[in-house]
C-alpha cells in the first residue's frame, strides 16, 4: 500500500486526494474495524445459541410441569356408572389406594316459581317494588310454603319497577341487574309469555318475593310468592343433594363438590336411590410409559444442541462455562435420586426405570425394564415423574438461569462485551472521521502548493523558450 501511495504522490497536482485519504485511513483503522465486526458476529452467534439453550431448558421443565399439573400422569378415580356419578382428580392430588362407594339418593335442586301467562311480554304489567329474600322454606304436603327462615347474613334485595320496566321483559331485566341471587327469564310459547324466576341449588337458597304495588299502575301482585301469598306457581322446590358415602348419609348444597372424598371432585348426574356406585382407581400405566419416552426424546434434543454448541473445534460456545455446566447437570440427571423416601426395592433414579445413557451422551429407554418398574412399582414411578423429576428439573433450571446462574452469568458477560464493542466502534468512527478531516486538509494544501509550483514552472519554461528564440 505504501508503494501505491508513493506513486500517487509523485504525480503532482493530479493526485486523487479523496482516494489517497481513504487509503491512509483504512490503513490506520481497517484491521481494527474488521476485527470488531468479526467479534460482533461471534457474539451474536453466542448469544443466539445461549438463548436457545436457556429456552430449551426452561421449555423442558415447563412441559413436564404442564403434563403433571394436568393430572395425566396421576392415578385417576373411576366411577362404575358415569350416567349417575362422574368423578375427576383434583390438581396435585394423590389417591392411590382409594376405594369408596356412593349412593345418589337425591339431587340438589333450585327453587323455581312461574307467573301466569300474558299475551305480550312487552306490554305494561305493573309498577312498584319486588323484595327478594333468600333463606330456607318449609312446605306442607301440597308444597304450599308454611314457613321461611331468612338466610344468615343475606340482605333482602328490593327491585324497583318503574316506567320503561313495567313489562315482563323489563321486570326480568331489572331482577337480573339487581343481582339478588336469582335469575329471571321470560318463557314464551303458543299460550303466551310467563316470567320464570330461579334461585340457586341448596336448601338455604329458597326465596320469597314480597310486592308493594304502585296504586296508579297495579299488576305486580301477580308476582308475589311468600307464605301469605302464592300468586306465582311453585314448579320446583329447593333442596340439598343427599348422598350416602360408604353408607353414611351426607348433604351438599350443589351437585358438584370436592370436599367429600379427598382429592376427588364428584359430579352428580341423576338420582339413583338404591344403586351403589363404586369409586375405584385406574393407574396411568400407558401415560407414564409414554411420558418417560417423551422425556428422553426432549432430553436428546436439548443435549444434541448443547453438544453442537460446545464442540471443541466448531462450537460457538466451546469456551462457555455456562453451557458446559448445563451439559454436566443434564448428564447427571439419570443417576440422581428423584424418589425421596422410597421404600426398599422401589426405583429411585431414571436409570432404574430403564433410561440408559448412550456412548454419544444421548438417552434411550429399555422398554422391558420400564414395563417391569411400572408393573411392580407403579405408584413409585408415578411419584417420581409427578414430583421428583419436576423438582430436579426446576432445580437445574434455577441453578443455571436464575440470578447468578451459570447461563445467566454467560448472558451478562456477552451483553457487557457487546456494550464494549459498541464503545470501541464509536471511538474508531470518531478517530477515523478526525483523521480523514486532518488528512484532507493537509493534502488539499499540498495540492494547492504543487499547482502553484507547476504554474511557475510553466511560466519559466515559456520565458526560456522566448529567450532562446530571440537569441
Tens of pLDDT, residue by residue over 244-289, are 999 999 999 999 999 999 999 999 999 999 999 999 999 999 999 9
Residues 3-29, buried b or exposed e (16+ Cβ, 10 A)? Answer: eeeeeeeeeeeebeeeebbebbbeeeb
% the chain with pLDDT above 70: 92
The lowest-confidence range among 150-164, 255-269, 325-339, 409-423 is 409-423
Q: In this model, does residue 3 exceed pLDDT 50?
A: no
pLDDT value at position 186? 95
> Would you say 49 and 385 are in contact if contact means Cβ atoms under 8 Å apart?
no
Which three cell numbers mark 176?
337480573
Question: Average pLDDT for residues 279-302, to the nearest whole number?
Answer: 91
Q: In this model, does residue 8 exceed pLDDT 50?
A: no
DSSP line for 331-395: HHGGGS---TTPPTTS--SSGGGTEEE-TTS-EEE-HHHHHHHHHHHHHHHHHIIIIIHHHHHHH
- What burial class does residue 349 get, using C-beta atoms within 10 Å of its C-beta: 0-12 exposed, 13-18 middle, 19+ buried? middle
- Which pTM was predicted? 0.67
Distance CA 458, CA 471 (A): 20
Strands 256-257 and 264-268: antiparallel
Distance CA 197, CA 138 (A): 19
The lowest-confidence range among 51-55, 83-87, 143-147, 168-172 is 51-55
Where does the pLDDT of residue 452 fall: very low under 50, low under 70, confident under 90, or very high at 90 and above? low
Q: In this model, does residue 427 exceed pLDDT 50?
A: yes
Higher pLDDT, 229 or 442: 229
Which three cell numbers mark 223?
308476582
Q: By C-alpha distance, which of 165, 163, 164 is closest to 184?
A: 165
pLDDT value at position 39? 81
Q: In this model, does residue 38 exceed pLDDT 60?
A: yes
Question: Average pLDDT for residues 444-459, to the nearest whole number?
Answer: 69
Q: In this model, does residue 367 exceed pLDDT 60?
A: yes
Give helix 406-470 / helix 17-69 axis angle, nearest 10°.
170
Higher pLDDT, 71 or 26: 71
> Would you say 24 and 5 are in contact if contact means Cβ atoms under 8 Å apart?
yes
The per-residue pLDDT of the chain, averaged, comes to: 87
Question: Average pLDDT for residues 36-44, to the nearest whole number?
Answer: 80
Distance CA 221, CA 80 (A): 50
Distance CA 329, CA 453 (A): 78
- What burial class does residue 209 get, using C-beta atoms within 10 Å of its C-beta: 0-12 exposed, 13-18 middle, 19+ buried? buried
Of 111-125, 257-271, 283-297, where does the model show the most confidence? 257-271
Q: In this model, does residue 465 exceed pLDDT 90?
A: no
Residues 409-427, buried b or exposed e (16+ Cβ, 10 A)? Answer: bbbebbeebeeebeeeeee
pLDDT value at position 2? 39
The lowest-confidence range among 32-46, 74-88, 251-265, 373-387 is 32-46
pLDDT value at position 443? 67
Amino acid at each position: 500500500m505504501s508503494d501505491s501511495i508513493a506513486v500517487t504522490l509523485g504525480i503532482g497536482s493530479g493526485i486523487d486526494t479523496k482516494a489517497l485519504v481513504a487509503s491512509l485511513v483504512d490503513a490506520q483503522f481497517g484491521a481494527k474495524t474488521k476485527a470488531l465486526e468479526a467479534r460482533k458476529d461471534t457474539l451474536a452467534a453466542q448469544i443466539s445459541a445461549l438463548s436457545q439453550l436457556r429456552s430449551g431448558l426452561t421449555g423442558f421443565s415447563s412441559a413436564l410441569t404442564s403434563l403433571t399439573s394436568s393430572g395425566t400422569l396421576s392415578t385417576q378415580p373411576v366411577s362404575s356408572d358415569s350416567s349417575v356419578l362422574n368423578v375427576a382428580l383434583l390438581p396435585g392430588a394423590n389417591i392411590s389406594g382409594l376405594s369408596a362407594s356412593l349412593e345418589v339418593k337425591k339431587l340438589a335442586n333450585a327453587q323455581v316459581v312461574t307467573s301466569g301467562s300474558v299475551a305480550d311480554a312487552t306490554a305494561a304489567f305493573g309498577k312498584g317494588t319486588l323484595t327478594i329474600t333468600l333463606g330456607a322454606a318449609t312446605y306442607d304436603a301440597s308444597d304450599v310454603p308454611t314457613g321461611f327462615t331468612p338466610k344468615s347474613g343475606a340482605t333482602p334485595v328490593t327491585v324497583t319497577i318503574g316506567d320503561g320496566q313495567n313489562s315482563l321483559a323489563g321486570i326480568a331485566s331489572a331482577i337480573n341487574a339487581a343481582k339478588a341471587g336469582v335469575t329471571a327469564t321470560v318463557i314464551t310459547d303458543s299460550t303466551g309469555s310467563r316470567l320464570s324466576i330461579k334461585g340457586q341449588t341448596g336448601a338455604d337458597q329458597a326465596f320469597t318475593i314480597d310486592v308493594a304495588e304502585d296504586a296508579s299502575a297495579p299488576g305486580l301482585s301477580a308476582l308475589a310468592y311468600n307464605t301469605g301469598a302464592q300468586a306465582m306457581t311453585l314448579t320446583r322446590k329447593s333442596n340439598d343433594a343427599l348422598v350416602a358415602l360408604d353408607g353414611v348419609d351426607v348433604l351438599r348444597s350443589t351437585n358438584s363438590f370436592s370436599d367429600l372424598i379427598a382429592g376427588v371432585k364428584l359430579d352428580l348426574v341423576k338420582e339413583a336411590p338404591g344403586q351403589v356406585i363404586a369409586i375405584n382407581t385406574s393407574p396411568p400405566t400407558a401415560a407414564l410409559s409414554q411420558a418417560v419416552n417423551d422425556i428422553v426424546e426432549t432430553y436428546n434434543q436439548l443435549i444434541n444442541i448443547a453438544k453442537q454448541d460446545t464442540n471443541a473445534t466448531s462450537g460457538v460456545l466451546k469456551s462457555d462455562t455456562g453451557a458446559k455446566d448445563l451439559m454436566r447437570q443434564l448428564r447427571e440427571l439419570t443417576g440422581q435420586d428423584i424418589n425421596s423416601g422410597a421404600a426398599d426395592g422401589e426405583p429411585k433414579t431414571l436409570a432404574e426405570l430403564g433410561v440408559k445413557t448412550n456412548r454419544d451422551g444421548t438417552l434411550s429407554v429399555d422398554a422391558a425394564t420400564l414395563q417391569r418398574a411400572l408393573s411392580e412399582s407403579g405408584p413409585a414411578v408415578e411419584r417420581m415423574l409427578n414430583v421428583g423429576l419436576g423438582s430436579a428439573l426446576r432445580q437445574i433450571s434455577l441453578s443455571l438461569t436464575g440470578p447468578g446462574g451459570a447461563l445467566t452469568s454467560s448472558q451478562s458477560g456477552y451483553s457487557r462485551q457487546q456494550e464494549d464493542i459498541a464503545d470501541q466502534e464509536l471511538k474508531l468512527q470518531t478517530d477515523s472521521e478526525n483523521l480523514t478531516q486532518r488528512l484532507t486538509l493537509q493534502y488539499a494544501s499540498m495540492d494547492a502548493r504543487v499547482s502553484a509550483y507547476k504554474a511557475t514552472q510553466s511560466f519559466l519554461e515559456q520565458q526560456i523558450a522566448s529567450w532562446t528564440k530571440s537569441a
